[in-house]
Amino acid sequence: MVEREKNIAVLKGIPFDIDLASLGESLRIRAGSEEESTLKELVKCARKTANPKAIYRTCFVDCVNGDEVTIEGVRFESRLLSKKLDSVGRVFPFVITSGRELYEYPLDRADFLKIFLWDSLLEHILSEAAEFMRREISR
């Protein structure tokens, strides 16, 4: 769902997909292993729990002068930013999350494998949400 007000867009309920085989391969988890079983369990929980969201704003570049960039009255000093925005008229500052529901999910903090796999899932969902936001901005 996308809510728009002036130049701000709020994206809620961002759809995401978790390809278990691909994720397991990227994490170098062997098929049929105990680690794969743990990952499957966590993916099942994440699918039920995740609620990715994003908010972005359309802003206009006022001025690019040397190593300085001014965006809607806010001055930034950065050679890289200046180069990247030299011929750009607008930018989209954003905040994106895979959802507090995942951050608050009760995990055994002594089980380092579960923590690692859970963090990997959060990162994957965040990446999916970022891609959704990019497509939304491109519309």
pLDDT of 4 above 90: no
The number of domains in the chain is 1
Q: Is residue 22 part of a domain?
A: yes
**Residue 23 included in any domain:** yes
Distance between terminal CA atoms of the chain?
15
- Would you say residue 107 lies in a domain? yes
Whether 102 is covered by a domain: the verdict is yes
Instruction: Kindly tell me if the per-residue pLDDT of 6 is higher than 80.
Output: yes
pLDDT at 1 over 80: no
Residue 1 is which amino acid? Answer: M
DSSP state of 77: E
Q: In whole angstroms, what is the distance from residue 76 CA to residue 9 CA? A: 23
Which domain range does residue 129 map to?
Answer: 2-58+94-138
What is the model's pTM? Answer: 0.83
Alpha carbon of 34 to those of 24, 30, 130: distances in Å? 12, 9, 31
Q: What is the pLDDT of residue 109?
A: 83
Residue 65 is assigned to a structural domain of this protein: no
Q: What is the pLDDT of residues 97-125, one digit of tens each?
A: 998 999 898 888 898 999 999 999 999 99
- Residue given tokens 């000093």 in the structure block: 77
Q: Which of 97, 127, 123 is nearest to 27 (CA)?
A: 123
**DSSP string spanning 12-36?**
-S------HHHHHHHTTPPTTSHHH
Per residue in 50-79, pLDDT (tens digit) is 999 999 999 999 999 999 999 999 999 999
The pLDDT-based confidence of 3 (bands split at 50, 70, 90) is confident
The answer to whether position 126 is within a domain reads: yes
Residue 72 lies in a domain: no
* C-alpha to C-alpha distance for 16 and 18, rounded to whole angstroms: 7
